[in-house]
Structure formats: structure tokens, C-alpha cells
Amino acid sequence: MYTALMKRAVRIIPIPKQFKIDILDYDTFLTIQFYESQWRHYSETERFLCIQYLDKVKKTLENLGAKVALDPILDIKHNRVERG
């Protein structure tokens, strides 16, 4: 499903702040993955730019015929402190 045309169309879109995404092909739909480890270090303004980028990538893929889902990846372990 993730064709060479789709790949070229996505590469044209300017990437804000070296924002890393992965596009996974599940035959009947695509997912756009982005990572908490990177996301948490951005300011609100930078996050807004990244959201706009994700939207552009998603719409571009949909306009080329794909069903697309966003998939945030929680790749950081959070340590909980228990009080008692």
C-alpha cells in the first residue's frame, strides 16, 4: 500500500525540528508513528509545528488513497514514586 509515489510525496513536506516519524504499512492501512521521547522535549510552539506536519503527512497519504492512523509510541518508562 505504501507506494513509491506516497514516499516521494511525504519527503517533499518540510520536517520541523528534525521530527522523526515512521510510516508502517499494514496492507489495508498505514500508521504514522511518532515518539514520546522526542515529543516531550519540544516547546508548545514546536509541538504545534509537529502537529501541522503530521496533519500534512496524513492528508497527503489519504489524498493518494490510503487509510491512515496516527500512532503515538510511548517509548519512555515512567518511574512512579509511591508515598505511604
pLDDT tens per residue across span 20-75: 999 999 999 999 999 999 999 999 999 999 999 999 999 999 999 999 999 999 98
pLDDT-derived band at 82 (thresholds 50, 70, 90) equals low
Q: Which one of 3.40.50.1820, 3.30.70.2260, 3.40.50.300, 2.120.10.30 gives the CATH number of domain 4-73?
A: 3.30.70.2260
The whole model's pTM is what?
A: 0.87
Closest CA to 30 of 44, 47, 9, 16: 9
Closest CA to 6 of 72, 73, 70, 59: 59
